[in-house]
């Protein structure tokens, strides 16, 4: 069932002609799809780490509708070490509730106060400052560019990437350090002379920050030392900001590629500013993120995060080409079909999360095994995050998603729910191969997917990854941040937007 409603979340004033035209368009809203449940268990061999049993592993339950749902870890926050770093209670609770709302987790049956408020309070103050800090890194003397570059940064995103970096930073604080760790520098201080960086563009290169630093070279407040209240290094805070800048850049570009009209319930960047400006704004974000990355003065982190940018592009190209192989005899999906999809999923989504979690541990000077555990956590959680994204496309309405539901089939994309369904319904094969391009393909395929157990198998696969994410950090010292990281595996699985 579908109905046509006007897009009402944002007024049309103050936007370009292109934006106003799009703002007046109507958008399509579809009803939720049915989920069928089976006890399928899928292999995740290519992306799994070893998986020791864990006392805190969430248990599977069945809700009233019969869908399997993952319950929160049994260990309560209070039974662990308690709050390591305190944040003002009002700020903490506001930030935690905002995150719970942005993921829809409260409506998934996990109470915001129990599952989120306490653990997330350890980074609440940091998260409150995130958007403003990024804005300070993005200023441009060119007003159009300034507005477009900040557009996605200040919209109501989940901010899951910076949140994970901050939590991981705290979680590795008490973990063993590598022998060679000793660094003191200022992440706001330029490496090259400022007059070189600003030649012909005096307002550029994070001018406010750079000027402050260059005028007060003796300041010690911004040196690379752990903040007493939060346990976060300035470099880790900056890393969190960099991850969100790269993510925002990728979304600006992605929305051009997908010809998207909406993002987060408002006009997409391309709808608001046009394709050219959206692309350039994304490029500008990448440029400023690169400057900030250089100022971390850590070659290993620069290598990791630069690789992420290349990975994002590779993942997007794999998605465009969609050359997932199929069985030559039966014509249905094979393990190789899934491998292609999983590799694309890693490159497109999990790479940023895994390599930024790893970078947070590198910046902490953590021992190599801790650095690798941080990476494994991010890699597995990132895979789960995208799998859930792909199933929500079949199960959630546009008003919950803040962007059109059912978009993947329209874009010609066969994600996990369709690939699982393909095994049960070989007739999906030809439609997948022609990217659902013939009249009726999208509707027929959607029906076959929802009649199959593709959505539930996808959820089970996501749960497997979440289990492995949790196991990866099992040996970390107990802390509130560790509890929050464990809770994140539940939130990611149960989110409904
Ligand atoms: C959202 O995917 C998009 C991504 C996760 C990555 C997109 C990457 C590029 C466009 C490559 C360029 C990268 C940079 C850094 C400029 P989606 O379309 O599945 O999700 P959506 O429904 O939210 O749009
Ligand atoms: Mg998209």
Domain total for the chain?
1
Task: Establish if 27 belongs to a structural domain.
Answer: no
Residue 196, classified by CB atoms within 10 Å of its CB into exposed (0-12), middle (13-18) or buried (19+), is exposed
Band (pLDDT 50/70/90 cuts) for residue 387 is very high
Between 63-67, 90-94, 189-193, the lowest mean confidence (pLDDT) is in 63-67
Instruction: Please state at what angle helix 143-151 crosses helix 275-294, rounded to 10 degrees.
Output: 80
- Kindly report which listed range (117-131, 145-159, 260-274, 431-445) carries the lowest average pLDDT score: 117-131
Angstrom distance (rounded) from CA 413 to CA 416: 10
Residue 253 in contact with ligand 1 by CB distance below 6 A: yes
Residues 323, 432: Cα–Cα separation, whole Å: 10
| Position 223 confidence tier, pLDDT thresholds 50, 70, 90 | low
Is 198 domain-assigned?
no
What's 391's domain CATH number?
1.10.600.10
**Residue 336, SS3?**
helix
- Give residue 254 CA to ligand 1 midpoint distance, Å: 4
- pTM of the shown model: 0.77
Decide if 438 is inside a domain: yes
Whole-number pLDDT of residue 237: 96
Q: From the alpha carbon of 246, which atom of ligand 1 is closest?
A: 15
pLDDT higher at 32 or 157: 157
**Residue 310 beta carbon below 6 angstroms from any ligand 1 atom:** no
Residue 9 phi/psi, 5-degree rounding, is -70, -25
Q: Which chain residues have CB less than 5 Å from ligand 2, an ion?
A: 254, 258
Q: Counting every residue, how long is the chain?
A: 497
Tell me the per-residue pLDDT of 327-340, one tens digit each, with 9 for 90 and over.
777 777 788 889 99
| CA separation for the pair 4, 149 (Å, rounded) | 31
Distance 105 CA to ligand 1 centre (A): 23
Whole-number Å distance between alpha carbons of 150 and 142: 12
* Residue of 156, 254, 286, 383 with the most ligand 1 atoms within 8 Å of its CB, for mutation: 254
Q: How confident is the model at residue 416 (pLDDT cuts 50, 70, 90)?
A: very high
Buried (b) or exposed (e) across 430-469, using 16+ Cβ within 10 A?
ebbeeebeeeebbebbbebbbebbbbbbbbbbbbbbbbbb
Kindly report, residue by residue over 210-221, the tens digit of the pLDDT: 444 434 333 344
Residue 383 domain boundaries: 38-187+224-494
In a domain, 211, yes or no: no
Distance in angstroms between the alpha carbons of the first and the last residue of the chain = 20
Confidence band of 190 (pLDDT split at 50, 70, 90): confident
Q: Per mean pLDDT, which of 201-205, 229-233, 396-400, 483-487 is the most reliable? A: 483-487
pLDDT confidence tier of residue 280, bands split at 50, 70 and 90: very high
What is the 153 CA–ligand 1 centroid distance (Å)? Answer: 15
CA 455 to chain centre: 21
Q: How big, in percent rounded to 5, are the helix, strand and coil portions of the chain?
A: 60, 5, 35
Asked whether residue 214 is domain-assigned, the answer is no
Question: Residue 227 — pLDDT band, cuts 50, 70, 90?
Answer: low
Residue 300, pLDDT above cutoff 50: yes
Please report how many Cα atoms fall inside a 13 Å half-sphere around the Cα of residue 114, on the Cβ side: 12
Contact (CB, 8 A) for 264 and 402: yes
* Domain-located, residue 8: no
Task: Give the tens place of pLDDT for each residue, 100-117.
Answer: 566 655 433 333 333 344
pLDDT above 70: percentage of residues in the chain? 68
| pLDDT tens-digit readout, 167-177 | 999 999 989 98
Question: Is residue 371 included in any domain, yes or no?
Answer: yes
In this prediction, residue 465 has a pLDDT band, given cuts at 50, 70 and 90, of very high
- Residue 277: per-residue pLDDT: 98
- Three-state secondary-structure class, residue 65: coil
> Stretch 67-87: mean pLDDT, rounded?
28
Contact 31, 450 (CB under 8 A): no
Report if residue 128 sits inside a domain: yes
């Amino acid at each position: 069932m579908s109905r046509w409603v006007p897009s009402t979340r944002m007024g049309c004033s103050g936007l370009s002609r292109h934006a106003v035209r799009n703002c007046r368009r109507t958008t399509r809203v579809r009803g939720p799809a049915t989920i069928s449940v089976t006890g399928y268990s899928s292999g995740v061999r290519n992306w799994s780490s070893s998986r020791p049993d864990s006392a805190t592993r969430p248990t599977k339950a069945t809700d009233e509708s019969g869908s399997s749902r993952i319950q929160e870890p049994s260990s309560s926050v209070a039974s662990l070490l308690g709050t390591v770093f305190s944040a003002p209670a009002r700020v903490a609770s506001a930030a935690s509730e905002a995150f719970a709302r942005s993921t829809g987790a409260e409506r998934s049956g996990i109470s915001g106060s129990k599952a989120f408020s306490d653990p997330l309070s350890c980074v609440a103050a940091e998260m409150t400052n995130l958007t403003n800090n990024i804005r300070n890194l993005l200023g441009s003397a060119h007003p159009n560019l300034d507005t477009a570059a900040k557009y996605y940064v200040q919209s109501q995103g989940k901010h899951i990437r910076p949140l994970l970096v901050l939590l991981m930073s705290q979680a590795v604080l008490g973990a063993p350090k590598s022998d060679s760790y000793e660094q003191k520098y200022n992440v706001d201080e330029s490496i090259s002379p400022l007059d070189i960086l600003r030649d012909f563009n005096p307002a550029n290169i994070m001018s406010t920050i750079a000027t402050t630093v260059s005028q007060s070279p003796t300041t010690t407040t911004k040196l690379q030392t752990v903040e007493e209240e939060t346990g976060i290094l300035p470099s880790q805070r900056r890393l969190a900001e960099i991850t969100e800048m790269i993510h925002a850049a990728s979304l600006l570009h992605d929305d051009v590629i997908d010809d998207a009209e909406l993002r987060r319930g408002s006009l997409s960047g391309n709808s608001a500013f046009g394709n050219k400006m959206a692309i350039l704004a994304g490029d500008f974000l990448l440029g400023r993120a690169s400057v900030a990355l250089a100022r971390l003065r850590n070659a290993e982190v620069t290598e990791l995060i630069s690789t992420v940018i290349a990975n994002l592009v590779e993942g997007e190209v794999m998605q465009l080409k969609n050359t997932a192989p199929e069985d030559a005899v039966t014509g249905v999906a094979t393990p190789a079909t899934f491998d292609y999809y999983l590799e694309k999923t890693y490159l497109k989504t999990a790479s940023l999360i895994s390599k930024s979690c790893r970078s947070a541990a590198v910046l902490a000077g953590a021992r190599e095994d801790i650095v690798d555990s941080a990476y494994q956590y991010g890699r597995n959680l990132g895979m789960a995050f995208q799998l859930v994204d792909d199933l929500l496309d079949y199960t959630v309405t546009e008003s919950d998603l803040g962007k059109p539901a059912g978009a993947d089939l329209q874009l010609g994309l066969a994600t996990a729910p369709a690939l699982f369904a393909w095994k049960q319904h070989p007739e999906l094969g030809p439609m997948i191969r022609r990217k659902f391009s013939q009249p009726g393909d999208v509707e027929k395929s959607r029906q076959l997917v929802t009649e199959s157990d593709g959505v539930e198998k996808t959820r089970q696969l996501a749960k497997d990854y979440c289990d492995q994410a949790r196991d990866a950090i099992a040996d970390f010292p107990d802390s509130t941040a560790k509890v929050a990281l464990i809770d994140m595996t539940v939130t990611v699985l149960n989110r409904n937007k």
